[in-house]
Structure 1
Amino acid sequence: MTEIVAATATNNEKQSATADARLAAIVDSSFDAIISKDLTSIITSWNLAAERMFGYTAEEAVGQSILMLIPDHLKSEETEIISRVRGGHRVASYETTRRRKDGALISVSLTVSPIKNANGEIVGASKIARDISAAKESERRIRLLMREVNHRVKNQFAVILSMVRETSKRSSDPREFEELIRARIMALSRSHDLLVTSEWAGASLFDLIQEHLKPFGREEQILLSGPVLTLQSNAVQNLGMAFHELGTNSSKYGALGSEDGQVEITWTIGSSAQGSGTQDLGAKDLGAKDLGRSVGASGGRDFQLLWTETSTPRPDDKGDESARKGFGTVVLQRVAPQSLGGSAQLERSPGRLSWRLSAPLASIIVPQAGIEGDDGAALGFGI
């Protein structure tokens, strides 16, 4: 009988050892930090995930107070946790902040449960900590994005309402009004698509011009010259509106509506023509974005853009008189330049139209994006 009892005890010990080994393996392989401590908050066990999360090895952590992980302003949390554990209560998952060995703060989700001995007495606590810093950062970015989207939507509504109001003042025919509004909203959409493609990181000035002049065809009649710039979102919207109005006017009354017409768009930084190189929209795109050399950042300089178009004068060309009328003129002389903190001049004579924009470079390009210019060679940039 004694032998049977001894054998049973040995078997139970083996089973217990096996269970302990299995539990230890699970703890060590966990992606979550699993830490145990006694009722005085002294760490008694520390798994590999805790080492990765907090930067302390098991040798460094075991025997130390759990308070070394808690920022000063949150140390009262530990008193509350121990109080609840002593009462036999489990602390459900909650989010807080902890400190790594290097001093960095991380966001964690904690779950704390009482540890009992063989007699059922509470002797400590088991804590599971999950690093949720990445999730918190994603939430922060989503909140920022939603605020940005909210701002952009409100801004777009304001622009569209202004378009409707100003266009209605100058359109007596409902069909004409509908066509003009549709075209202008589609122009806004093209600018918006460029920004969405780049995740609101900006858009190339070349791409912006390409998108807004593409609907008018005649790409062989359009020449571009200037450094490669990445425009910030406000500049994309306002310059996009300006290019749409200039393109529309040109296709109806100017160079893009004439077989012999030509449009030249040039831009420079300050008074220097550094980095300019002719771009023919009728040739094959050779990737202008990837060409060029850095010519510095935006500090304290001006952006100068000139749209010039020439064509054989039409018999009904009214020169300066027609240049003062229409919503397009409002955009070119007031809306676009004022939104960019600059000024503009719109001049027209029979067979010729020019629009010159001057604005602080800081209101045009994405901060720290830099400027690229080519070596002066003719490069293709096709629509």
Structure 2
Amino acid sequence: MLQPEQDTPTWRIYETLLQATPDLSYVFDLQHRFIYANKALLTMWGMSWDEAIGKTCLEIGYEPWHAAMHDREIEQVIATRQPIRGDVPFPHATLGVRIYDYIFTPVIGPDGQVEAIAGSTRDVTERKRHEQHQQLLINELNHRVKNTLATVQSIARQTLRSAAGLEDANAKIEERLVALASAHDILTRENWHSADIRDLAQSTMDAYGTPGQFQLAGDSCRLDPRRALALAMALHELGTNAAKYGALSSREGRVCLQWSSTDLDGDPRIEVVWQEYGGPAVHEPAQRGFGSRLLERGLKHDLGGGVELAFAPDGVRCHLWMPQPNLEEGQLT
């Protein structure tokens, strides 16, 4: 270690502090050689002081680009007498590559000239990772908000186009936004990774009927956020239609909602079937409303699969299918 001319109490205090800190502390002479390095820095190098004393960064084992960068910075500190700061990746002897924030500061002698360059370096790897993760979350949130606003805009536009009047439009928009919010609640509980079809089905059952009117059948089957939202809105439209005109408009009516994972010629997919029975006789609608268009067109696009909607006399049947999502890759809505 660098030793003062006299072993004073002040020096022992400074030395104790420098050796105790987890930060890397060191001093270069004007020839860019290390004349002091604390324990944390020697540990990072995997060297003893006897092996490191008097060596330059390049001689210590720094990559040539790294050593050259510090050589330029040392000369800049000497020339400007001003500190310089930066951050750089460096391979730790036991922890792997870490990110270090450092500052070089001129040591001014009695004659007013720079006589050495003191340095302090801090491991900021975790902070950098946190910042990157935070930025990723912000980007994901922005993406999700934009998609949600686009969905709300589409709901409002399509509902207003087909509504009987302002009061009817207000009621339908509110119902659809409540359904969208419910799906968001389910995804939020799962940190927006995925949602189980059973949870989506249960939400629909709670909104439109009693347990006695619904039969839910299917094992745990998870969807990525985009498909989960699409299915939630589809179930809302089916439930609304069933409550107004179909099986759920009478006490005797029933809905069977079942789902399963299947394999079609080596292509894994998820199938969902909504089947109504026991309600009033069903008639083919004269024209397709927003709900039907959402099911037959928009849903097919959002699911990346197919939809078959049939207005059979004994009850509406909706059969939809989609590729088995790869939840390991993670997908934004």
Range of TM-score over shorter length: 0.7 to 0.9
Show the counterpart of 2:307: 344
Q: Tell me, in whole angstroms, the C-alpha distance in 2 between the residues paired with 1:184 and 1:328.
A: 10
Secondary structure in 2 matching 1:187 = helix
- Is contact 1:71-1:97 (8 Å) kept? no
**1:56 paired residue number:** 46
Pair 1:87 & 2:48 matched: no
Give the C-alpha shift of residue 90 in structure 1. Answer: 3.4
1:1-383 matched pairs, under 5 angstroms: 17-51=8-42, 54-59=44-49, 61-67=52-58, 68=60, 70-87=62-79, 89-101=81-93, 104-115=96-107, 122-271=114-263, 300-313=267-280, 317-321=281-285, 325-362=288-325, 366-367=327-328
Q: Aligned partners of 2:192 and 2:285: how far apart in 1?
A: 39
Counting matched residue pairs gives 323
Tell me, yes or no, if the aligned pair for 1:69 and 1:100 is still in contact at 8 Å: no
Cα drift, residue 253 of structure 1: 2.1
Q: CA RMSD in A?
A: 2.8
Q: Is 2:282–2:315's contact at 8 Å kept on the other side of the alignment?
A: no
**8 Å CA contact 2:183, 2:229 repeated in 1:** yes
Distance 1:69 1:117, change over 3 A: farther
- In 2, the alpha carbon distance for the partners of 1:267 and 1:355 equals 12
SS of the residue corresponding to residue 31 of structure 1 reads coil
CA 22–200 in structure 1, closer or farther in 2 if over 3 Å, else same? same
The Cα offsets for residues 232-278 of structure 1, whole Å up to 9 and x where unpaired, read as 11111111111111121222222333322222222222248xxxxxx
- 8 Å contact kept, 1:39–1:123: yes
Alpha-carbon offset, residue 225 of structure 1: 2.2
Amino acid at match of 2:234: A
Contact residue 47 and residue 58 of structure 1 kept, 8 A: no
Alpha-carbon spacing, 1:229–1:55, altered in 2? closer, same or farther (3 Å) = farther
Secondary structure of the residue that 1:301 maps to in structure 2? strand
- Distance 1:214-1:58 versus aligned 2 partners, 3 A rule: farther
Give the SS at the match of 1:96: strand
Alpha-carbon distance in 2 for matches of 1:156, 1:79: 52
How far residue 127 of structure 1 moved from its aligned partner, in angstroms, is 1.1
CA contact (8 A) 2:91 2:97 kept: yes
CA distance in 2, matches of 1:133, 1:203: 33
Question: 1:102-153, CA deviations, whole angstroms, 9 ceiling, x for partnerless residues?
Answer: 6944322111122456776644322111122222222222222222222222
User: For each residue in 1:63-107, what CA deviation from the matched residue of structure 2 results, as whole angstroms up to 9, or x when unmatched?
Assistant: 443245654444432122221233362324333333333694432
Structure 2 Cα separation of the partners of residues 137 and 328 of structure 1: 45
In the TM superposition, what is the alpha-carbon distance from 1:228 to its structure 2 partner?
A: 1.4
* Per-residue Cα deviation, 1:167-187 (whole angstroms, up to 9, x for no partner): 112112111100101111121
Deviation at 1:22, TM superposition (A): 0.9
CA contact (8 A) 1:71 1:98 kept: no
- Shift of the alpha carbon at 1:162? 1.7
Q: Could you tell which deviates more after superposition, 70-79 or 244-253? A: 70-79
- Identity, in percent, stands at 25
Q: TM-score of the superposition, structure 1-length normalised?
A: 0.75
TM-score, normalising length: structure 2: 0.85
Secondary structure of the equivalent of 2:304?
A: coil
- What are the ranges of 5 or more consecutive residues in structure 1 without an aligned counterpart? 1-11, 273-298, 370-383
Structure 2 equivalent of residue 6 of structure 1: none
Please, which moves more after superposition, 90-99 or 176-185?
A: 90-99
Change (3 A) 1:305 1:73: farther
Q: Secondary structure at the match of 1:87?
A: helix
Counterpart-to-counterpart distance in 1, 2:41 and 2:181: 50
Q: Distance in 1 between matches of 2:244 and 2:250?
A: 9
Look up the equivalent residue of 1:78 and give its one-letter code.
Answer: H
Query: Cα offset for 1:306?
Result: 1.0
Using CA pairs under 8 Å that are at least 6 residues apart, name the structure with larger relative contact order, 1 or 2: 1
- Cα distance, 1:183–1:312 mapped onto 2, change above 3 Å: closer
Counterpart of 1:311, as a letter, is G
The alpha carbon displacement at 1:201 in A equals 1.6
Contact 2:81 2:114 (8 Å CA) reproduced? no
Give the whole-Å Cα distance in 2 for the aligned partners of 1:186 and 1:70. Answer: 60
